[in-house]
Amino acid sequence: MTEPDTICAIATGQGGAIGIVRVSGPEAIRLTEKIFRAHKGKKLDEAKSSTLSYGWIVDAEEKPVDEVLVSVFRSPHSYTGENSTEISCHNSPYVMQKVMQLLLDNGCRLAQP
């Protein structure tokens, strides 16, 4: 038996204004928090389930990548039944790939079909 890991994937198609990156697994909230800075400094690990937090995705140098909303869903009340987050960001290919790469660099695994 393999240990559960935390996965990430782009959940929306190209062409819209807003794109969603979904993170799911035991470390979803903690890994998302590594790249998210809330507007009022609130921590995602303190957020209640089914809530939104406004802020920015930042790179390793703390430079803003995009202005986002992060939804927090706690197990078992989520789309996957696990802890999960959904990062709603601008749906440009650059932004979506940058958010994905930051998550992968911080410990997420790319979801498989």
Domain count, the chain: 1
Query: What distance in Å separates the CA atoms of residue 32 and residue 35, rounded to the nearest whole number?
Result: 6
pLDDT at 1: 40
* pLDDT digit string, tens, across residues 70-85: 999 999 999 889 999 9
* pLDDT digit string, tens, across residues 14-61: 989 999 999 999 999 999 999 999 999 899 999 999 999 999 999 999
Residue 2 lies in a domain: no
* pLDDT digit string, tens, across residues 93-106: 999 999 999 999 99
pLDDT at 3: 59
To the nearest 10°, report the CA torsion of 15, 57, 42, 25.
80
Residue 52 lies in a domain: yes
Here the CATH number for the domain that contains residue 83 is: 3.30.1360.120
Does the pTM exceed 0.85? yes
Residue 66 lies in a domain: yes
DSSP-derived letter for residue 25 is: S
Token pair 């197990």 is at which residue? 75
- DSSP state letters, 50-97: TEEEEEEEE-TT--EEEEEEEEEE-TTSSSSSS-EEEEEEE--HHHHH
Token pair 């920015």 is at which residue? 56
Residue 100 lies in a domain: yes
Residue 46 lies in a domain: yes
- Distance between first and last Cα of the chain: 20
Range of the domain at 44: 7-108
Residue 96 lies in a domain: yes
Residue 113 lies in a domain: no
